[in-house]
Amino acid sequence: MKTKIRRIAISTGGGDAPGLNAVIRSVVLAAELRGWECYGIREGFNGILLPERYPHNGVTRLTVDQVRGIGHLGGTILGTTNHGNPLRFATTMPDGSIKEIDRSADIHRHLKQMDIDALICIGGDGTLTIANALHLQGLRVVGVPKTIDNDLDKTFTTFGFDTAVSFATECIDRLHSTAESHQRIMVVEVMGRYAGWIALHSGIAANAHAIVIPEIPYDIEKIAAMIRNRDTNGRHYSIVLAAEGALPTNGQHVVQEGAAAGHVERLGGIGERLAHDLQNLTGKEARAVVLGHLLRGGSPTAFDRLSAMRFGAAAVRALDEGHSGIMVALAFPNVNYVALEEVAGRMKAVPMDSDTLQTGRDIGICFGD
């Protein structure tokens, strides 16, 4: 029999995404109306693991007043980090070396000292892997799926994705006029890590002529042939959408210097590579535009706000029903619960039999294959 809940904590981890504050607001409102107290942990779990950084507010009370009017704001009022995995916490040793130490016991101890009964973890695959570990160690935990990449398994979509796709679409719309005016190839690089969801959805929505995604290694000659064919037919410009994780057949991902904290490699640069190669192959001027972190910012769309509010309220309901070790997920027509162990450490790639991908092919978009 689960003990009655009186206090819960909320943590936001990994890359930020529009909608995080809407989840926080929904959790606090739903919990407070149950008579529960809410506490926010700063910057993932750093608010607990680095007390010297937050002498007074590592874990702070969140009341209705603190979350008033935050639902439409991008980012997270708690802050977040890609660095703070408590299971492998980078710690400086007395000799100055850095060692990864499992500090999950500190999380349990601190939450127990504060009489916090349960945790709501909002994040992507990394954060939800941590959430599952804390659940297996005995903490009551419910996860909420967050990432602009939409690469989390077992949920129709994650909040943040719709906002990223909507903004990318707006940007690509703007590029058609300048590309046509200069008879250029414009290559647009978007985020998404090792999945091509953002590129696929925004590329089709904004009438790109080619889309390259990690799931389909591309043959540059195929894209060049499409561009030449457009030229022959009097269409003297082309828009190429590139997911940052896309790669040529038998080629490697293009990465930036220095890994993004928390990731094995920091993707980025495929746009310039494609522009360079296509300019050489076609003789046409080419330019690359990297949307990067613009896709992480801004106010969440109505769809993402609603998804986030549904997720937040469902996470509180799940705890109230005695669940732990689950993630709330967007199914149809209702939010459902999936076991964290079915999600942790997995990636949802674009399925090759997806009708969205087929739509792109049906309307003549080149996927480099």
**Which position has the token pair 């979350």?**
67
Q: Supply the angle between the helices 197-205 and 355-362 in degrees, to the nearest 10.
A: 40
DSSP 223-266: HHHHHHHHHHTT---EEEEEETT--BTT----B-SSPPTTSSS-
Q: Which backbone phi and psi does 209 adopt, to 5 degrees? A: -95, -20
State the sign of the Cα–Cα–Cα–Cα dihedral 90, 125, 216, 274: negative
Using CB under 6 A as the binding rule, whether residue 153 contacts ligand F6P is answered as: no
Would you say 293 is a known binding-site residue?
A: yes
**What residues have CB less than 8 Å from 269, skipping those under 6 apart?**
189, 254, 255, 256
Would you say 114 is a known binding-site residue?
A: no
Using CB under 6 A as the binding rule, whether residue 84 contacts ligand F6P is answered as: no
Q: How far is the CB of 51 from ligand F6P (least distance, A)?
A: 24
Please pick, among 16, 117, 149, 153, the residue that the annotation labels catalytic. 149
Using CB under 6 A as the binding rule, whether residue 191 contacts ligand F6P is answered as: yes
Using CB under 6 A as the binding rule, whether residue 260 contacts ligand F6P is answered as: yes
Q: For ligand F6P, give the closer residue by CB, 245 or 325.
A: 245
Would you say 184 is a known binding-site residue?
A: yes
- The span of 26-34, 60-68, 189-197, 329-337 binding ligand F6P (CB under 6 A) equals 189-197
Contact positions with ligand F6P (CB under 6 A) in 195-234: none
Would you say 277 is a known binding-site residue?
A: no
Q: How many other β-carbons are positioned within 10 Å of the β-carbon of residue 99?
A: 11
149 is catalytic: yes
CA angle 215, 126, 291 (to 5 degrees): 55
Q: Which of 110, 201, 230, 296 binds ligand F6P (CB under 6 A)?
A: 296
**Which position has the token pair 């590309």?**
179
> What are the catalytic residues?
149
Detail the residues annotated as belonging to a binding site for substrate: 147-149, 184, 191-193, 244, 287, 293-296
Interaction site with ligand F6P (CB under 6 A): 15, 82, 124, 147-149, 191-193, 244, 260-261, 267, 296
